[in-house]
Structure 1
Amino acid sequence: MNLFLRPLIPMVFVLTPSLVTQGNDLFRQHVIQQLQETRKCFGCNLSGVNFSGRNLQKIDLRSANLQGANLKNANLRYANLEWADIRNANLQGADLTGAILKNTLLADADLQKANLEASNLEGTDFRNANLSHANLRKASKNNDVQGGNSITICETVLPNGMISNRCNHQTSFENLKHIL
């Protein structure tokens, strides 16, 4: 091997992970730019993205990966989030009025003070989600709730307009079936 190239080999191994990370970041920025232009991103990976306070009204994010995303106070009115993975996301104060959340994974999500009025919640997975002070008025019923985990509801506006008065109490999925 050329004596000139031998010292460069360790440097290649040191720089390669950094270059891969930069490439992923550039690709992610391209995806976000495309999303802003087209308002669509079917099946894209937006895990951990910060869309806090953003206007994402009527956006199409079907089957998107939004795990761990920050969507606090985001406008997601009439957004299509069908089959999206939004586990561990921050949706505090998010406006999801009329959103399609059919078959969406919202396990371990923080939906405190979120507005889910008139949204489609069929088949949505809320395991261990926090729905305290959320508005579920006129939301579609979730008949597919499964599992033994629980959901936190506290002064939550339920689909029938009633307000749950249970605070610091987790409701089992079985009880939630009767509520939703």
Structure 2
Amino acid sequence: MAGKQRATWSWYAQLAIASAIAVLVGWGPTLAENPEHVQNLMENRECGGCDLTGADLSGMDLSEVDLTGADLRGAFLVGTNLRDAILDFAILDNTVMTDAYLIGAEMQEISLVGADLSNTVLRDVDMDKANLEGAILQNTQFSGADLDGANFRNADLRNAGLSNTNIAQANFTRAAMSNVNFSESDLKGSSFAGGLLNDAVFFEADLQETNFQEATLKDATFIDADLQDANLNNTNLLNAKLEGADLRGVTFCGAIMPDGETSLQGCN
């Protein structure tokens, strides 16, 4: 037991260290915003394609601004109000956007690689095909969001809220997702392979054809979820709740079942 706990903490430590290095180092040379572009944003509340790299926009009211395709790599947006803002195709890699408000924002194909969005509110946003690889999303609220095809690979989503979201075909490979709430969400065809999902809640979620292979799902809740044709091979489902779930076509080969027994269902 102690060895497993050390392994889990080691995994979290590596994720935290990698994220910190990404923020500190970035992907290129030192970033500096274009002062004229910052002024244009303040005066006209639109700055599509602008260079705002490294800008400190913390605490500002940027609701309804148009930042389509803007470059905000390494920027600071702590507590910033971006309600109903347009950020489609914008680049926000390695930004610090904690405690920010982006309710109803348009963020299609936005890049947030390595960004810190802890405690940020992203309710009802449109983030189809967003790239959040390695992002820190602890306690972040996504309820009602559109996240189809989004990339959350290696992200830290612990305690995040993703209920009533559309997240079909998303990639959660090796993400940390303990205590995440996915209740009533559409997750068809998404991948959770290798993820840490202890105590995650999938109540009435659509999980058809999802891939949970080698994921840790101890104490997870799948009550009344639709898991048709899902891959749960080699998962750890100890104490998980599967009451009322649709398990037609599910494979559990090598999985540790809720009662602690190892399943051979679906093994060739």
TM above 0.5:
yes
**Structure 2 CA distance for aligned equivalents of residues 30 and 140 of structure 1:** 34
Structure 1 unpaired stretches of 5+: 1-24, 167-172
Match of 1:105 among 103, 111, 118: 111
**Structure 2 CA distance for aligned equivalents of residues 105 and 40 of structure 1:** 19
How far 1:174 sits from its partner (Å)? 2.1
Runs of 4+ aligned residues of structure 1 deviating over 6 Å after TM superposition are none
One-letter code aligned to 1:107: V
**Structure 2 CA distance for aligned equivalents of residues 62 and 92 of structure 1:** 21
**Structure 1 CA distance for aligned equivalents of residues 140 and 178 of structure 2:** 10
How far 1:38 sits from its partner (Å)? 1.0
Q: Secondary structure of 1:142's match?
A: coil
Q: Does residue 77 in structure 1 map to residue 83 in structure 2?
A: yes
1:17-56 alignment runs, 5 A limit: 28-56=34-62
Q: Secondary structure of 2:37's match?
A: helix
Q: Which moved more, 1:134-143 or 1:70-79?
A: 134-143
Aligned in 2, Cα 1:115/1:58: closer, same or farther, shift over 3 Å?
same
* Counterpart residue number, 1:128: 134
Q: Secondary structure of 2:155's match?
A: strand
Aligned in 2, Cα 1:139/1:164: closer, same or farther, shift over 3 Å?
farther
Match of 1:156 among 147, 157, 160: 160
Q: Deviations over 1:52-111 (max 9, x none)?
A: 111100010000000000001100001100000000000101101001110000010001
**Structure 2 CA distance for aligned equivalents of residues 144 and 49 of structure 1:** 26
One-letter code aligned to 1:66: L
Q: Secondary structure of 1:35's match?
A: helix
Aligned in 2, Cα 1:144/1:92: closer, same or farther, shift over 3 Å?
closer
TM-score computed with the length of structure 1 as normaliser = 0.73
**Structure 1 CA distance for aligned equivalents of residues 150 and 118 of structure 2:** 22
**Structure 1 CA distance for aligned equivalents of residues 76 and 39 of structure 2:** 17
How far 1:30 sits from its partner (Å)? 2.0
Q: Deviations over 1:99-148 (max 9, x none)?
A: 111000001000100000000010100000011100000001322538xx
TM-score computed with the length of structure 2 as normaliser = 0.50
Larger radius of gyration: 1
* Counterpart residue number, 1:165: 179
Structure 2 unpaired stretches of 5+: 1-31, 166-176, 181-189, 196-206, 211-268
CA RMSD between the two structures: 2.4
How far 1:28 sits from its partner (Å)? 2.3
Whether contact under 8 Å (2:89, 2:110) holds in the other structure is yes
* Counterpart residue number, 2:191: 174
Whether contact under 8 Å (2:127, 2:150) holds in the other structure is no
Aligned residues: 144
Whether contact under 8 Å (1:88, 1:107) holds in the other structure is yes
**Structure 2 CA distance for aligned equivalents of residues 141 and 102 of structure 1:** 9
Q: Which has the higher helix share?
A: 1
Aligned-residue sequence identity (percent) comes to 29
Q: Which moved more, 1:149-158 or 1:109-118?
A: 149-158
Higher relative contact order (CA 8 A, sep 6+): 1
